[in-house]
Each structure stands twice: as structure tokens, then as C-alpha cells.
Amino acid sequence: MHDAVGKGHMTQPDMTHLCHKGAQIAVKVTPRASRNRVVVDVDGAIRVYVTAAPENGKATAAARALLARSMGVPKTRLSLIRGRTARDKVFRLD
């Protein structure tokens, strides 16, 4: 596993290969984690851990912001296209 994105003290994974318009990024979100972070498994699977609770879209919003930061793009460029209430989500880069 490759750790990424915390509060500036962790190394971000290189996710620039995902930064092209129309890219669909599949992630598994874990709400109520002990800290916010993005982890890329050796097989390339992206896991986003957020401290937010899974209520009223808070965990999804936190995951979107964290993923955008790790990709180096504004969060407004990431749209949720699948998984509004599920842990498995797919975002599209607009």
C-alpha cells in the first residue's frame, strides 16, 4: 500500500495519470476513519479514508475533496457518477 494525503505531512501518490478530462476514477470510501488519507494498493485500487460520518453526503463530500487534492485538481472538477449512498464510488473528472 502507498499512503497519501493527510494534513500535509504524508506523501501523495502520483495520480497525475488520472488527470485527463472524462477520466472515471473508482474508489472505495471508508467513513469514520481515524484520519483522512488516500491509499493506492499495489494493484492500483484507490481507497479513500475520511473522518466524516456517512450521513447526508458528508463522507462523499469529504472523499471528493480529498481525492481532488491528491490529484491536484479543484474539487469542482470531480463529479460523482455512481455510488451516492455506497462505499464503492465512481467519480468523473470534468
38-79 pLDDT per residue, tens: 999 988 899 999 999 999 999 999 999 999 999 999 999 999
Separation of alpha carbons 75 and 93, rounded Å: 9
Q: Does domain 2-93 have CATH number 3.40.50.720?
A: no
pLDDT at position 36: 96
The confidence band for 12, taking pLDDT boundaries of 50, 70 and 90, is low
